[in-house]
Amino acid sequence: MKFPFIIFTILPLLSSCALFSPNEPDETYRYLTGQGLENPKTVDIKNALMRDLSMAGGNYSLKAYPYTRTLVEAMSREKADLLGLPPKHIERYAKQMEKDFIDDKVCFYFEYEVLRFEKASRLENFKLALLDKEDQSYPLQFIEEDLGKQPGLSKVLRSGDRLPKWFGSGIACTKANPSLNKGFGLKVEPTFVQFPFDKMASMYWEFPEIKIVDGKEVKIHKKKKNYKSYRGW
């Protein structure tokens, strides 16, 4: 009979630890700029820079991350390691990726899942725009190769019904090149959103900027935008 007492004693302690454990530090700025990182992994960069958004009553699930020089270098390095390429091929691959996704432009990887509504099932059914720190908007264009892809289709069981779910992804770029280091956003506007939900939504990359003061790193926190993404009823 002592075991139940032990269990009920331990459970509150575990819950208490979970409630009071400190939040993980925001490393967005570090992975965005590459500051203080040595050969970071692609997966870690993407995880730090990925943002997600739910809209249309939870029927649309969206994800995105920006292409950065740090990310391109990591992708080039890892591909070279995988294929056993010599250094000159690594450099050539990295320069080509920088030309495609970095030089004089800003590019985003965009991923979507759409439940029920075929009207928003294709990549071309989404308009994207980069928002700079002043909320200035810069329209993004998907690359033609991605626009030509057919969306994937699966079935999802909801309340006893098997509903269609479309999914796809693509890369969109703008020739404008505002600095991202002080924060930015991505506005998403599907061509169809059912009533009564908002026809557009935005995801934001807001983070403390890191500056070196007296030889030490100091995080400069800024006031966040008054925005809450809609995540269903």
The token pair that represents 14 in the structure block: 């575990």
**Confidence band, pLDDT 50/70/90 cuts, at residue 11:** very low
**Taking a C-beta distance cutoff of 8 angstroms, is the pair 59, 115 a contact?**
yes
The residue assigned the tokens 């009920």 is: 8
Higher pLDDT, 20 or 154: 154
pLDDT at position 7: 41
What pLDDT digit, counting tens, does each position of 81-112 carry? 888 877 777 788 888 899 999 999 999 999 99
Contact assessment for residue 110 and residue 171, using Cβ atoms and an 8 Å cutoff: yes
pTM: 0.81
For 192-230, what is each residue's pLDDT tens digit? 999 999 999 999 999 876 665 545 555 666 666 544 443
Rounded Cα–Cα distance for residues 27 and 65 (Å): 14
Give me the phi and psi of 77, to 5 degrees please: -65, -45
**Within 13 Å, how many C-alpha atoms sit on residue 73's CB side?**
11
Chain segment 23-61, per-residue pLDDT in tens:
677 889 999 999 888 889 999 999 999 999 999 999 999
Domain ranges of the chain: 22-220
How far are the Cα atoms of 6, 12, 14, 15, 71 from residue 2, in angstroms, in the given order?
A: 6, 17, 19, 21, 55
